[in-house]
Amino acid sequence: MGKLNETTQVNTIGSEFVLLTDSNGLPVRISKNNLAEVIRSVMNEANIVDKGLMPAGIVGSINKGASTLLCETQSITVTASMLLSISATTTGIPNLYFISMARAASNTGNPIIKVKVLAGTYNMKIIGKTDADGKCKVYAERTQYTPVIDVIAMSTFGITMKMESADNSEFEGGFEATLE
């Protein structure tokens, strides 16, 4: 069976079956009972890069020589935490950090951002930059030790994970997270 794609045509046959046309133009008849198996048979063609599938909890991975926008606040109240793995090379041993953020409901100032080293050494910087409205963006500053970054979100109340390349000028004048 060819893979199903964006141009897949769907026709209903009564209420027990659905007739699909695959990418080769061949009909695929799916019953309610075997729908999950048909979907599983084409899922192995999808992966994180090509189809946007992510294992539970993983927010992003980046392998670039640039600083990274990790997340930004979406509300004044913030309670968030994440695990951050950073490695100097794709074959190097990564350092592991726990990052926590908090800010009270009535405060538009900088949130409290703390970094705890779980494994390795602290050879990077986590920098926050808060605008006048209280929106804070949190960055991992690019150093010679930070080209490979992976993040797992633990709790994300009040933030949106981003994992986008950033220019250092975006967080100029910001504040550095507290190292615990």
Q: Which CATH class is domain 58-179?
A: mainly beta
Tokens of 173: 């004048």
For residue 177, what are its two tokens?
């997270």
Least confident among 14-23, 91-100, 121-130: 14-23
pLDDT in tens, 151-160: 888 888 888 8
Q: Is 46 helix (H, G, I), strand (E, B) or coil?
A: coil
Q: Which long-range contacts (CB under 8 A, 24 or more apart) does 14-23 make?
A: none
Nearest 10 degrees: Cα torsion 134, 80, 145, 47: -110
pTM above 0.95, yes or no: no
Domain spans in the chain, listed from the N-terminal domain onward:
9-47, 58-179
The pLDDT value recorded for residue 137 is 95
3-state SS track over 96-133: EEEEEEEECCCCCCCCEEEEEEEECCCCCEEEEEECCC
The confidence score (pLDDT) of residue 32 equals 67
Q: Is 35 helix (H, G, I), strand (E, B) or coil?
A: helix
